[in-house]
Copies of this chain bind each other. A is one copy, B any other.
Amino acid sequence: MTQSSSRTYRLGEIVTQLGGELIGDPGAEIRRIATLESAGPGDLSFLSHSRYRPNLQHTRASAVILAREERDATTLPRILCDDPYVYYARAAQLLHAEDRPVPGVHPRAVVEADAEVAASATVGPGCYIGPRARLGERVIIDAGCTIGAEAQIAEDSRLHPSVTVYPRCLVGKRAVIHSGVVIGADGFGMAPEAGRWIKIPQTGRAVIGDDVEIGANTTIDRGALDDTVIEDGVKLDNQIQIGHNVRVGAHTVMAGCVAVAGSTRIGRHCTIGGAARIIGHVTIADHVTIAAATVVLKPIPRAGVYAGVLPSAPGREWAKTVAHLRGLDGLVKRIRELEKKLSKSGKRKR
């Protein structure tokens, strides 16, 4: 029952709750948020970037969120504010508040006798809550989740269907964890002996801070001895892999399919582009931006933007680039040869 819109708001109510300057009828009814292109009557839209300004002319929205300097960009009812994108986010939270399921443990859930489930928490059908696990106030555990022994989920967190939290792991407050996420599986630790691999028990935990969102099918391994730590406010997209003993600094975001190998420390307020891969045992500074699909093989000690991807090209053109790249060694030799000849001919002439 997520995402269904709850009730209509009047424009005046929205401004009262979220601030901003209203130009137009405060009594106008708003049902939902929509893009300029797809909006119709009853919809509130927004202009987050001047490149979308042409869409403003044709929108059928009932009202628009604008930056203060766009005051005269339309004659529609409008809300002027400092940051229309942030305002849109907050208005969408208001208009599309999630329905909360009724608190209580579903009769088809299994909760071990010594687990603690807050009275205001919801546990869906098919869930298993292990011994001594603790679910805080207003926690929602959707259908089919498993919370291991002694694991804890703090207040106001929501786990969507089929999330697994391994024993002893911790999830902070207000977390949003999507389906298929696995928190606290064993890190990849093995000692080689005579051509075989001996498993190293992974005895640390995965510890997730407050206000963290984790996308579908992302995996965060438990630590080998010490903990794997995701700090407050971190946002992880889908299918991200976080190896054991990694620490991700507060308010860092990672787009989908990022892979972070074991024992790496990523700073605070970093932005990691989709499908970037970061090798193990390195430290990345605060405020680092890594471009999508970049491979990081060394520490990054200074804030800044880092990249490492070759853009694709039509097949034949690319084949030529690859051939040239392979021929670089020969090329360097030819240049050296030319330099030698020219230097000789120069000397001869002198």
B176, B238, B259: the one contacting A199 at CB < 8 Å is B176
The 8 Å CB contact of A182, one of B186, B217, B331, is B217
The stretch from A7-15, A20-28, A72-80, A160-168 touching chain B is A160-168
CB-CB < 8 A to A307: which residues of B? 312-315, 318-319
Q: B269 contacts A256, CB within 8 Å? A: no
Chain B residue with minimal CB distance to A142? B146
A194 to chain B, nearest CB (A): 9
Please, how many angstroms separate the alpha-carbon atoms of A198 and B93 in the complex?
A: 10
User: Does B255 contact A188, Cβ atoms closer than 8 Å?
Assistant: yes
Is A267's CB within 8 Å of the partner chain B? Answer: no
Name the one of B179, B326, B331, B346 contacting A331, with C-beta atoms under 8 angstroms: B331
The interface residues of chain A, by DSSP majority, are classed as loop
Is B251's CB under 8 angstroms from A261's CB? no
A contacts, CB < 8 Å to B: 1-5, 32-35, 38, 83, 85-86, 88-90, 92-93, 96, 98, 106, 108, 110, 124-126, 128, 130-131, 142-144, 146, 148-150, 160-162, 164, 166-168, 176, 178-180, 182, 185-186, 188-193, 195-203, 211, 213, 215-217, 219, 221-222, 225-226, 233, 235, 237-239, 241, 243, 251, 253, 255-257, 259, 261, 269, 274-275, 277, 279-280, 290-298, 304-315, 318-322, 324-329, 331-332, 334-335, 338-339, 341-342, 345-346, 348-349
